[in-house]
A = this chain, B = another copy of it.
Amino acid sequence: MTPVAIRKMERRKTFNEYIAKKRLKSTKQRDIIFDEFFSNYMGKHVTVEELYEDIKKRHPFIGFATVYRTLKLFMECGIASERNFGDGKARYEPVRSEREHHHHMICNQCGKIYEFANNQVESCLNQIAKLNEFQLTTHKLEIYGLCSDCKAAKTA
């Protein structure tokens, strides 16, 4: 089994447990959305609309509102995270394991999104939280600027 598939199973477990705990229901639609999201959008940053359009191809009966609601559900149980890169629409990403926690560099020119991870930053943040008696649950870090390609294009 691939690492991606293993991760998917782990998320599925979390999701099922959340559903059970909150006395929610497991539905066909939720299964479909889960599958699409965790199969095709690992490491991506998908818009609700994009996900909806994609799902609609194979499952035309699924409603827009349901996709919204389901992504929110994924957020609540911690298997998806919401990002906001300043273009007015929320983006969602399947969370990976703690070990793979990462952040984003966004190019102001071409809009491309690069990922990076850095242990030193993470431990800094933990220290800061501790120092302020703040119980950290999540954090977001975004770097905006010019990617190497656009930088090169500019000087050329």
Chain A: residues with CB nearer than 8 A to chain B?
Answer: 82, 84, 86, 105, 107-108, 114, 116, 118, 120-121, 124-125, 128-129, 132-148, 151
Contact, CB under 8 Å: B121 / A124:
yes
Cα separation A142 to B142 with both chains bound (whole Å): 9
Q: Which residue of B lies closest to A137 (CB)?
A: B145
Task: Answer whether A143 and B129 are a contact pair too, CB < 8 Å, given A82-B86, A114-B134, A148-B134.
Answer: yes
Residues in B neighbouring A143, C-beta threshold 8 A: 125, 128-129, 134, 136, 138-139
Q: Which residue of B lies closest to A148 (CB)?
A: B133
Contact, CB under 8 Å: B140 / A140:
yes
Contact, CB under 8 Å: A138 / B132:
no
Residues in B neighbouring A140, C-beta threshold 8 A: 140-142, 144
Cα separation A86 to B91 with both chains bound (whole Å): 12
Cα separation A6 to B139 with both chains bound (whole Å): 33
Cα separation A140 to B148 with both chains bound (whole Å): 20
Instruction: Looking at the assembled complex, report how far the CB atom of A47 sits from the nearest CB atom of chain B, in whole angstroms.
Output: 15
Contact, CB under 8 Å: A129 / B144:
no
Residues in B neighbouring A129, C-beta threshold 8 A: 105, 143, 145
Cα separation A139 to B118 with both chains bound (whole Å): 15
Task: Answer whether A138 and B134 are a contact pair too, CB < 8 Å, given A84-B84, A118-B124, A124-B121.
Answer: no
**Complex A-B, nearest 3 residue pairs according to Cβ-Cβ distance, in ascending order:** A133-B148, A135-B146, A137-B145
